[in-house]
Structure 1
C-alpha cells in the first residue's frame, strides 16, 4: 500500500451509549444514517457535511435499513418503525417553521409502528420481504413480513416465521440487552440475471452474488435451481444459520459454529479475474476467530471439489468489520486493521505453500477506537474510502491509498522514497504524541491511586476499634492564652495538629474544630465551628492554627473542643474533570480525632504581686495591675466592700503526691534540699499539661516558697487558691493510726460560680492523676475506715434533709438558700484522697 491513510472527522455526537448497537449506513442520495446506540438516529449529508435531522425514537435503536421507495425501516427493542423520511422532514419544517440550516428534531411516535415484536436485534430487506430477527424466551425467531406500500406505510402482514432453539441460557450484553446479531442475504447468479432486475441482489443492503458452484455445495441444488435468495443469520452464540426463501418447507439450519459471538458475515471476490461473483464467504467472531468458506480440492489427484471451511485467527476482540473485493477491514477498538484475502486464494493453487502461512499479517491503518464501519467504497483512482464511528461519537472518513499490484517486482523511484519516509516519520510522530498523552493519563491515575491509598490507610488508622482517642498517632493539642481587644478580655485557643503516623496528609484534608460550651439540661447547645484547609502535612510535622474562643463575659466553662479531619472527594479530580462529576463537588467524610476540655483552671489570669510587674509594661497593663491589687485587698477585708465569701477544699495525701507528682514533673534535687510540695502542687494545677491542654504561662514558674495564689476568673471575680499541709488523726483497723499528713487545696471567691467551676476542675485533675498512678504506688496507701464511716453518715443525714426539703412545702425562695447551705456543708467535710 502506497502512501498514508487520511483520516477526516466529519461530525461529533458525543460519547456513545452502551444500551444499543452503533451503526453507520449509507442511504439514498448523499444521506448517511448514524445510530449511536441510544434512541436517536442522525441523518448526515455527505455533500453539505452537516447533520440534517435528528430522529428520536421511544426506545434504543438496534438496526436500520432504507428501501428504494424510499422508506426508512428502524428496528427498536419493541418493534419496527417505517416512514418516508423526505415527506416527514418536509411536514416537520412546514409545521415548525424552523430554519433550513438547523437540524430538524423529529419525534417518531407509535403511529409509525408497522411491526410489533419484542427483542428485535437485526433487520433485513429482500425485495418485497421484510425480515426481523429477535430473541424469545427459549429460541431465536426469524419473522417474515410483507413490505408496506410506498405511499402509505401501514401495519405489516406476517407471511412466515422460523425459529431455532437457544443453546445457551442467557445471551446478553453489558446493559442487559440482547447481544447484536447479523443478517445478510446471498444470491445465486449464473450470469443470466441482471443486478437491477426485480428480485435480484441490491448491493446497497450488502447483498452479494455467490459463485454458482459454491452456492450449490453450501445450500443445495434445489435452492440453486429455484435461484432462491438465502438468508444468513449470525447469532451471538456462534452459530451461522441459513434459510432459502423460495423453497417450500424450508427451515433454519446451522451451516457452521464459531463458538463465539458472530460479529460480521460477508463475501469477498478474492480473484480479480472474475469480479462479478464472490468466491469466498467470510465469517468473523468476536474473539478473533475467522472462517473462510470457499471451494477446495478434497483429493488433488482425483480432482474432487468440495466446499472447504478454513478457520484462522486474527487479533481480537473484533468490534466491527467489512469487506472489499479482496480485503477485510476490522477494528479491535485499539486499532483499525486491514487483512489481504487475495493472497490466500492465489496461494491455494500452489500445493507447496504452507496453509497456515497463506494469509498475510494484518496491516495497521493507525486509527483507534472505531466501533462501527460502513461498507467500503472505491473511487475511480482506486482509493478506498471507509466511513466509521468512534467510541467518542465522531463520524470519521478513512481514505486508503491505492494498493500496489506488483509487490517486490521493482524498486520504487527515488522521488517516491522521500514522501514515504516523510509519511513514516509523520506516523511515528502521531504515535509518539498518543503515547505521551497516554503516559500523562497513566501518571495522573497512578497519582490518584496513591493518594487514595493514603486516604484509606489514614481512615483505617483513625477508626481502628479499641484505639484510645488520647493516643492516636494523628491528634490535636491546645494552648490557652488571654488577649485584650477593644477593652475586652478574649480567650484564644492555639490548636496544634500533630502527625506522628507514617502517612502524609495531602491536598483535600481540612482540620475542623468545634467549640461547644457547657449547657444546662433542656437548653439547646450552641457551638462554633472553624475549618482550616491545608495542602500537606508530612510525618513528624505539625500544623498550628489560632482561633478566638469567646469574650470573657460570654463563656460558660468548661469548653469542649472537638477536633476532626474532613476529606473532600473532589480533590481526587482535576479542575477540568469536576464538571463531569458534579455530585463529587460537595461529597466528603469526617474522621474524629481527640476531644479537648478547657476548664476554669485554664482560664484563670494570675495576679502577680506588686513588685513583680515588669518595668516595660504599658500604661494599660500598669492600670490593670493596680486595679487587680485593689480587688485583692478588698477580698482580704482591706476595703469597705466585703461581699460574702464561698470556699471549698480538697484534701490529698502528701505521700501520694510525692510518689506521683514529683516524678511526673521530673524534679531531680538532693534529699537535703527537698522541694516545697505546696508550690509544686500549685504549679502543676495552674501550669501543667492536662489532657493535651496547656496555658499560655508555660515560661513562668511559681515561687518555690509560695503557698497562696491570687487570680482573676473569666467573669472578673477574684479567686484565692491556698495549698497547705495539715495533719489528720485516723483510726486504722481498730487501732490507733497516728497522724497522717495531707495536702489541703482551698478555693475561695465571692463568686459561687467560680468556686464550683474550680472545684470541679481540681477534682477532675486529681481523678486523672489517680488513673495514671502506678499499681505499686496505689497499693502503698490505705483508706481511712473511720473517716469513710463518718463521711457516709454525713451523706445519709444530708440526703434525708434534701429529701424532706424537696418533698415539703418550701417555696422556691427558701429552697435555693437551703440547697446552697447543703452544698457548702458537703464541701466543708470532704473525703480524703489518700
Structure 2
C-alpha cells in the first residue's frame, strides 16, 4: 500500500445519539441514503456533493432500503415500515427553490404511507418481491417475510435472544445485520446484483461459491437455488433461513459470542466473513485439499484489535473501524506450489498472520461505512464513504495497491485440484439427489395409498350416511354369507362363510382387515352384548376390483339355542401400514386405525335347519315340561291343527302359524325368484311348494343356506328337518280361506316341533322374511288390507326369543320360584301367539 488515505468531508448532518446504529445505504442511482438515529433521513448525491432531500419520519429511523426497480423507498421506524414513491421524491426536488441558501427540500412522511404495522423493526431487506423485516420482541428476534406488492404476511421465524456479556461497550446501540446470500451458479434475479463476480455486490446481497454455498446451507438449498437470508444478532448468533424452501426454519450457522458487526463474502465468493464487536473474526471456507471424504467446511477463527464499530468487505479485503483507526484486513491466499493438506496449512498461516497485523489507514472516528466503489476517473483507486462520530459524511480515497502477484493465474496443480473438487462435488450432489429421489418415490407411493384409503372411506361413509336409498341399492363394497353344516370329531357345527365383494373401482391394498362381529339378535336382559359377542379379524394383502375374499368361521354348535344372531361386517385400516418401518418411530400411531362399517347380516333358525328326507330322521325328544304346562298346551293344541292326544306327529306338540295372502305371495315369489309363471294361472299347490322352497333357500339379507334347488326334500307341501337344538321340526303349507269382509284365499305356513324354542325361532324367521321381502304394491288391494300390527308382532316374537334365552331352556323348564315365574311369562306370550294367528295381506 503506497501513500496515505485522502479524506474529504462532503456534508455535515449531525449525530442524534445512541438510539440506533447509523447506516449508509445505496439509494436512487448514485445517490446514498443516510440515517443517524434521529427522526430524519437524508438523500445525498456524492457526485454533486449535494443534499437532495430530508425525510421527516414519524419516529427514529433504524434502516432504509430502495426497491430493485428504484421506484420505492422503504423506511423502518419505531411504529412500522413506511413506503415512499420515487416520483414523490423527484417532484419534491424539482419543485424546491433554486436558491441554495433556503436549504434542502423536506418531505414529511405521513401515517398514510404505513405499509407494515410492525413495531420495533430494526433492519430491512428486499429479496426479489419479498420484503424482509427483523425486529425484537421481548426475549426473541422475529424475522418476518411480506409480499412487496400487497404487503401480505408470508411467514415468520423466531430466535430466542441470548445475553452477551462484553468487556467493552461502544457508545452506539448495536443493530442486527440482515443480508442475503446467493449461490454463484444460481440464475440471476432482480434481487441480486447484475454485475459480474468482480464487481461490487448490491447493497445487502452477496454471492458465494457453489461448493461453499452447499457446504454451509445444505444440498437441498443448493439444488433449489434458493437465496438464503442471513442475520447477525447482537447476542452473537449468525442465523440463516432459505427463502424458497418449504418447511424451512431459522437455524444457527455459528456463534461469535459477541455482537455481530457485519457479515459478507470475499474471495470473491470463496469465503464468508463474520466480524464481532470485540474483534473476533470467523472465516468460513470450502476445504479443497485432501480426499473427497474429508472435504468440508474450514472455520478459521482469529481476533483483530477492537472494538469493531463498523465494517465492510470488498473482494479480498475487509475494512473496519475501531473508532480510533480505520484498518484494512487482507484475506487473499497468495500463491503456493504446494498441494493438498500443505496448501491448507499455508493458507491458515497466512490468514493468522493477516489477522494479527491488519494495515492501518490512519482515519479515525468512523462509525458507519458504505461498500467501496472504484473511481472511474482514476482506475485502480478505491473510495469509501464513511460517517464520522460528529455526523460528517466523508469520502475516503485509498492509495493504490502495487502487489501484482496476487493477480497471477493459478498453477496447473491448482487447476487439477479444482477439477477434482468439482467432480467430487458432483458425486456428492448425485448421491444426495439419488437419496432424495428414493425418498420422494416412497412418499409418492404413500400418498397414492392414502388417496385410495380416502376414496374408499368417502365411498363407504356416503353409503352409510345417505338420507334415503332404494331398498335394493347396495354398497359397492359389501359382504354376503352362506351357512353350511359340517362334522368334526363327531360333533356337528354350523359354519358361516362370509364373502367380501369388491365391486368398486378401487383396490383394497395392504393394511386393510375384514372384521366380523357375531352377537345375539335378542340378548338376555341380564347379559350385555359385549359379553356374548365374538369378534374375528381377517387381514389381507390386496383385493382388486371385481375380486372376492372368502373367510369361514364357526357360528354355533349343535344343541345351542342362542339364535338368531347378527353378523356385523366392517373394514379396518391400520395407519401404521402407510409408513412401514418408519411407523416404529411413531408410538402414537401403533394403535391408530380407521373403522368403516359395511353391512349387517342376520342368521336365523331357517338358515340353521338340517332338512331330512323322511320322518325317520326326526329326533325323538322326551318331554320334560311340568304337568300343568303339559295340560295347558294339550288343551290348546287343537286350535292350531295339532293332535289332541299328542301322538299324531310323533310328539310335535308345539306349533305356530302365519297366513299370507296368495295374491301377495305370487307377486313376492315372482320378484324374488324372477319366475316366468303367470300368477293368475299358478296352482295353489305349486304356490305352497314354492313358498316352502323359498323359505328354505332364499338369501334374505345377504345370507343363503347350503340347501338349494333339488337338495330340499319336499313331500308334497311338508318339510321334515332337524333344528339347531337337535329337535325335530315340521313345516307345512296349505291353502286356507279366511273371511275378512269377503272370502280371501291365503296360504298358511305351520311350524310344529317338540321344542318351544324351535317353534318360536322358526316362527320369528318366517315372520321376518315375509315382512322384509316386499312385493310390488297394488292399488286394488288397498280395500282389503287389514292392519294387524305386524311390526309389533315381530317385536313380540323377538321378546319371546329373548325370554327363552334368559331361561336357558330348550323346550323344558326346571323347578323353582324364578323358573315358575319365567314359565308363566313364556306361556302368556305363547298363548297370545297361538290364539291370534297373524295374517299378512
Please give the TM-score of this superposition, normalised by the length of structure 2: 0.49
TM norm structure 1: 0.49
